[in-house]
Amino acid sequence: MKAISTIAALLFLLGACTQKNKTQETMEAPRLEVKNGAMPINYNQCGDGDVALLFVHGWGINQSYWDGQVDYFCKNYTVVTMDVPGFGQTAKTRDQWTIENYGQDVGAVIDQLGLDQVILVGHSMGGDIVLEAALNNPEKVIGIIGIDNFKSPAFEKSEEMENFLSDFVQSLRENYREVVGDFGRKYLFHPNTDSLIIERVVGDFQNSDPDVAIGSIESLFNYPEASKLQKLDIKLHLINCVFTPIMEENLQATGVAYEIVNMEETGHYPMLEKPDEFNQQLAATIQKILAGRAHP
């Protein structure tokens, strides 16, 4: 149980990766920006559906990791992806990299693009970001979907867990590249995961700005996830990779309404490892959200 809870806690901070040619294509494309105060936020948009899907990536990555979902969903929905500040093409001009600030960034994108009827999709650390954004924008957010996150929300961390997380952050400060590389290779992948995906993910982590990466991890560990879930008045939909199970008793303790769809034989990155099945599961989840609104 200790090993599972430790891995679950760390999995919140990690995100997906993309092929090098996709990253290059995104960097060469014209940049679109909105602003949260003085902070420019890079985003992309396609489709013109009444319902908007806003995808938020996880730690150490960028919006191009959702390319397979953009291609699949923009025929029927307005699809928006964004680089959260400090990652991708969005600037690194802040001093603090908090989940609360990232939630405000998502809200700025919603407001300035005039999005209505928004379903937020957040992978890994992006789950807490979209939770924060949903709580801040209840009149516009109609659904929230977490991708392999919300594994073990707790109102209080044990002293053992607090010490472990503190030691982990300190190890990042001392030897960032080695620590994230070892952790990624050891804990995040299914035995069947393609080695190219593994090396791309690890490379993305290692090439992230350490100040941003460590700052966002510290904020993530301190984010009061269980208390925030208590305030959510829409159902939390989760697409989970079963290699690290969700501790449902912890979700139940928050009182949040939730529904879990499990995916087999995939690591922390189902959008890359099993993209066809992932898109089908995500499409079905979106339809459940919309059907629930039509028939409350």
167 token code pair = 């030691």
Q: What is the pLDDT of residues 163-195, one digit of tens each?
A: 999 999 999 999 999 999 999 999 988 999 999
Give the dihedral of Cα atoms 225, 52, 237, 72; nearest 10 deg: -120
- Whole-angstrom CA distances from 258 to 108, 135, 145, 239 are 26, 16, 10, 11
Contacts of 126 (CB under 8 A, 6+ apart): 15, 56, 57, 58, 84, 147, 149
pLDDT at 16: 33
Domains and CATH numbers, the chain: 2-294 (3.40.50.1820)
- Mean residue pLDDT of the chain comes to 87
Rounded Cα distance between 216 and 89, Å, is 17
Q: How confident is the model at residue 24 (pLDDT cuts 50, 70, 90)?
A: very low
293 token code pair = 């609104």
How many residues appear in the chain?
296
Alpha helices in the chain, H assignment, sequence order: 2-11, 20-28, 67-73, 99-112, 125-136, 159-174, 176-187, 195-206, 210-222, 225-230, 248-254, 270-273, 275-294
Q: What is the mean pLDDT of residues 77-93?
A: 87
Burial pattern 52-72, b for ≥16 Cβ within 10 A else e, equals: bbbbbbbbbbbbbbbbbbbeb
φ, ψ at 89 (rounded to 5°): -95, -5
Residue 113 in 3-state DSSP? coil
* Cβ contact 128:136 at 8 Å: no
Query: Which amino acid is it at 75?
Result: K
Q: What is the pLDDT of residues 195-234, one digit of tens each?
A: 998 998 888 888 889 999 999 999 999 999 999 999 999 9
240 token code pair = 């989970």
Question: Is residue 252 packed enough to be buried (19+ CB in 10 Å), middle (13-18) or exposed (0-12)?
Answer: exposed
Q: How confident is the model at residue 294 (pLDDT cuts 50, 70, 90)?
A: low
Rounded Cα distance between 218 and 204, Å, is 19
Rounded Cα distance between 178 and 174, Å, is 9
